[in-house]
Amino acid sequence: MPRAPRNVPRTPPACSNARPPRCLHASLLLLLRSRIPPPLLAPSSSPRHWEWETEVMVPRWKSSDGRHRLLLLLWCCLLAFPCHAQVTTNVSHRSDQGIHSFVGTYGINYGRIADNLPPPEDVVRLLKLARIRNVKIYDADHKVLDAFRGSGLNLVVAIPNEFLKDMAANPSKAMDWLNENVQPYYPSTRIVGITVGNEVLGGGDVGLAEALVGAVVNVHDALRMLRLDSKIELSTPHSEAVFANSYPPSSCVFRDDLMVYLRPLLDFFSKTGAPFYVNAYPFLAYMSDPSHIDINYALFKPNSGIVDPKTNLHYSNMFEAQLDAAYFALEAAGYPGMEARVAETGWASAGDATEAGASMENAVTYNRNLRKRLFLRKGTPYRPDRVAKAYIFALFNEDLKPGPTTERHYGLFKPDGSISINIGLKGLVPSSAPPSPSLLPFKRVRAWGWIVQYSAALLPCTLIFLALAT
């Protein structure tokens, strides 16, 4: 198997005299200043501004009349269409402050407990068609790692629970795992994160819980020896079982019996800058108590919501309340600056008679509205400056998953690559699933927003041009 070169720098080293890329507008302004003769442009009293002289209002067009008019039109266009160079520079600067493991706000979990899924190469094609760039898997399968090579998709791999005890007891096991599952593929396969275990705490296995912190530390030390600790994020996802209570959000705290494991884990992640990952399922909360939870509140549909009596914050949906509950628990434990992200969330499209709320209609509604909510790129009521980010569960229906019927019906896609839960994504083959009507106006609004914005800016500039040119 061909191996990718190790420790290849992703970006050139910074240079002390390096200059930022020149904005297109700046280049065009320089062109204007060089082409427009002195009678047309003259410096004002401020060195940063240029103003039109009075005689421009009644210009005397001669042989270069057409050229002057074109230059005036170009000036108006510069005013109409804003430049984004400064924004890009700021984003790039911020990304240098930590590991950039998540692009945008929307990701997906690629589970493979099934015997009928498409090959990983087709999955990569499906993800690109669906425009999903953040992908999380539950192992480090080499066929998947090979398929993602050169795809440009962000991939988070996982160390399954069964490896944790050995890794905690023997640091060389962590290095062996990285040498087998990361080094041969990175960086051509864009491995941006490693999850150590899944829902370890609160599961009842004391030995596994005791091994979690040791395994995380040893994997991190191995990454540091490979000089990958600043390139690959290390984390572990938790279930809601780590909380003593979560309603109202401001009352959420971690379970006392788990703090012996959580305290050193959170201390370590606070030093590395890793987020706190939680699996948040409004569906499971509703299913456990359908008589007292408004399903519209769980589905992002219009409802009266709840008001936290301690903070007076209003919550119109359970997803934001669950995410804020994690923030309150982190703050109560002494980690107010740690980011919380959702490692799993979804809604089953089918279930047993005892599984309230499991239906295709509800699955479409939840996943569609969640996607729209995440695309707003905003925070929660308690953390408005922390943009909410989530991995959806799941990419496919997995027919070999044990448990109740819902476990096999979370997928957005069927095994053949067609749509299962239709939220407006493209599949590998045409789908018979009904369209998602509410998503179409959302897309039209986004498209018309750009048109209206630029038309409103261009119209007055055009009028100015006409006034100057006549």
- C-alpha to C-alpha distance for 329 and 335, rounded to whole angstroms: 9
Question: CA–CA separation, 438 vs 122, rounded Å?
Answer: 29
Q: Is residue 264 part of a domain?
A: yes
| Domain boundaries, position 313 | 106-413
> What is the structure's pLDDT at 171?
97
The pLDDT of residue 433? 55
Is residue 25 assigned to a domain?
no
Let me know if residue 27 belongs to a domain: no
Cis bond leading into 59, ω under 30°? no
Strand partners, 106: 390
Per the CB < 8 A criterion, the answer to whether 233 and 220 are in contact is no
What integer pLDDT is reported at residue 100 of this predicted model?
Answer: 80
pLDDT digits (tens, 9 = 90+) for 115-160: 999 999 999 999 999 999 999 999 999 999 999 999 999 999 999 9
Q: What separation in angstroms does the CA of 117 have from each of 395, 414, 440?
A: 11, 8, 29
Q: What is the pLDDT of residue 429?
A: 86
Number of structural domains in the chain: 1
DSSP E strand boundaries for 186-271: 191-196, 233-235, 237-238, 243-245, 253-254
Tokens of 319: 């997803």
Nearest Cα residue to 86 out of 151, 152, 21, 179: 21
Residues of the chain with pLDDT under 50: 1-33, 35-63, 78-98, 436-450, 452-454
Does any domain span residue 459? no
Active-site residue list = 199, 344
The residue assigned the tokens 């012996």 is 260
Report pTM.
0.74
**CATH at residue 310:** 3.20.20.80
Q: Which two tokens stand for residue 156?
A: 């988070």
Closest CA to 348 of 328, 332, 362, 336: 362
